[in-house]
Amino acid sequence: MKQTSFAQAEFAAKKKITRRERFLADMEQVVPWSRLLKALSPYYYPDSRGKRGRPPIPLKRMLRMYFVQQWYALADEALEDAIYDSQALRDFVGIDLGVESVPDATTLLKFRHLLEKQALTRVIFEQINDHLTERGMLMREGTIVDATIIAAPPSTKNRAKARDPEMHQAKKGNEWHFGMKAHIGTDADSGLVHSLTGTAANVADITESEHLLHGDETEAYADAGYTGVAKRPEFEGADVVWHVAEKRGKLKKMEEGPRKVLISQRERVKAQIRAKVEHPFHVVKNLFRHRKVRYRGLLKNTAQLFTLFGLANLVLARRLNPSTGA
């Protein structure tokens, strides 16, 4: 029987349950751990059995550490320190400082590189969505598409004396932004993300639209930035009806009358449906605090986005259906 440490006993005796504890308890319930471990285990040190030397850290522990890093926007060294500092994080990861130490930042770095090299963050995203589909959370009858800019450091005060060449600037409203774009396709019923691409910020939203549909939907919704999407060659003969928002200037120029009232009501209905696509962006940017890219290059940052939006789907699914479990 494993002995309880003094720190664990003192922590368990406290009366207040913190927000971090509640969040981690929720994630413990909703993350499909067994499914993810089964999908990732063939890629995690497959040739380590029977070899001499220290065995690799269990995949379950590394995956939990990686998820904590994404939820709290921590660097590798900051994550190591946070686990040493927080009993709640140690309990979630499964570390007892009385008998073992926290895996260092280099170990987590190697794990992240493994996920990127083998495209395993996409596997995590797909496994989470398959899990939610089996529970009836992804209906696949309609899709909402949208994009958001994620900022990158515009400064040239770095080792290369240059900006990231794969990032670009784009004008949004009256302001210029430098970075990348996350393009997502969400379920029109639940607002959960089923498709994702990452591009430079100067890529037009409409050019990524074909990659954001799963092919089974009959209706698609988009803002005015996708005007003319139904006429693009890739959608010729497609059995999908596009509901694209009218441009504000066009509505303002219309004469007052029954026709304008009818169109305004239609636009209001479309806007209410499209509002669901903002929920994943809110979770990733505000709850997970991912407002700036963490790495150089589109490949690494897009790989991270697959994990972030997969975890955001679990948060949203928990809100939609509190009984959702692994």
Which residues span the domain enclosing 110? Answer: 6-46+55-118
Contact predicate 219/240, CB 8 Å: yes
Gap between the Cα atoms of 308 and 15, Å rounded: 32
pLDDT in the model for residue 159: 80
Q: How large is the average pLDDT for residues 196-221? A: 93
pLDDT in the model for residue 9: 63
pLDDT in the model for residue 32: 96
Q: How large is the average pLDDT for residues 17-41? A: 95
The half-sphere exposure of 202 on its side-chain side, counting CA atoms within 13 A, is: 8
- On whether both 146 and 266 belong to a single domain, the answer is yes
Q: How large is the average pLDDT for residues 69-80? A: 96
- On whether both 79 and 191 belong to a single domain, the answer is no
pLDDT in tens, 253-270: 777 888 878 888 888 999
pLDDT in tens, 115-149: 999 999 999 999 999 999 998 888 778 999 999 99
Number of domains in the chain: 2
Q: How large is the average pLDDT for residues 200-229? A: 92
Gap between the Cα atoms of 249 and 254, Å rounded: 9
Gap between the Cα atoms of 209 and 144, Å rounded: 10
pLDDT in the model for residue 15: 63
- On whether both 203 and 260 belong to a single domain, the answer is yes
Q: How large is the average pLDDT for residues 200-228? A: 92
- On whether both 153 and 246 belong to a single domain, the answer is yes
- Asked whether residue 84 carries a pLDDT value surpassing 90, the answer given is yes
Q: Is residue 134 part of a domain?
A: no
pLDDT tier, 161 (very low <50, low <70, confident <90, very high otherwise): confident
- On whether both 147 and 250 belong to a single domain, the answer is yes
Give the predicted TM-score (pTM) of the model: 0.90
Q: Is residue 131 part of a domain?
A: no
Q: How large is the average pLDDT for residues 216-229? A: 91
pLDDT tier, 166 (very low <50, low <70, confident <90, very high otherwise): very high
Gap between the Cα atoms of 2 and 91, Å rounded: 13
- On whether both 73 and 160 belong to a single domain, the answer is no
